[in-house]
Amino acid sequence: MDLKLTGVVKQGGKWRKPSDIIRKVDDEIAEELIAAGVAEEIEPQPEEDASELQELRDRAKVLGVPNAGRLGEAKLKEGIAEKDAELRTKAAELGIEDIEGKTVEDLIAAIAEAEKK
């Protein structure tokens, strides 16, 4: 069951705020949240996120994020951000110019070129 929160709820160790959407909630838990007045049932959304998740996984694999094929969206975004920061730091240390204007793929190529020198 998919829920839209109307109150603050702790779910999976994280605090969720009103208007957050939680997908695939166990029916028993969902009924308790609805009865407590902190959630309302919404129509299940189609798996539109599947392509977005696959894009994140592909990008994470390019960056070398460990276990990219098995991670969820939040962990993928976290891993991508960490690898991106590492690449930009390394590029700055190697003296590569225009770091902010480059894509991750361009940074990888520029770092490889700078390390050959």
Residue 49 is predicted with a pLDDT of 60
Q: How many CA atoms lie within 13 A of 44 on its CB side?
A: 7
- For residue 80, give the amino acid letter: I
Q: How many CB atoms lie within 10 A of CB 11?
A: 15
Contact by Cβ (8 Å): 49, 73: yes
Task: Check: CB of residue 41 under 8 Å from CB of residue 30.
Answer: yes
Measured in residues, the chain has a length of 117
Mean pLDDT, consecutive 10-residue stretches, the chain (117 aa), reads 91 89 90 94 73 88 88 91 91 87 85 86
Model pLDDT, residue 8: 93
Number of C-beta neighbours around residue 62 at 10 A: 14
**With the C-alpha atoms ordered 81, 82, 88, 89, is the resulting torsion angle positive or negative?**
positive
User: Are the CB atoms for 41 and 34 separated by under 8 Å?
Assistant: yes
> Nearest to residue 6, comparing CAs of 16, 19, 15?
19
Closest CA to 73 of 46, 54, 47: 54
Q: What confidence score (pLDDT) does residue 101 get?
A: 80
**Whole-number pLDDT of residue 37:** 94
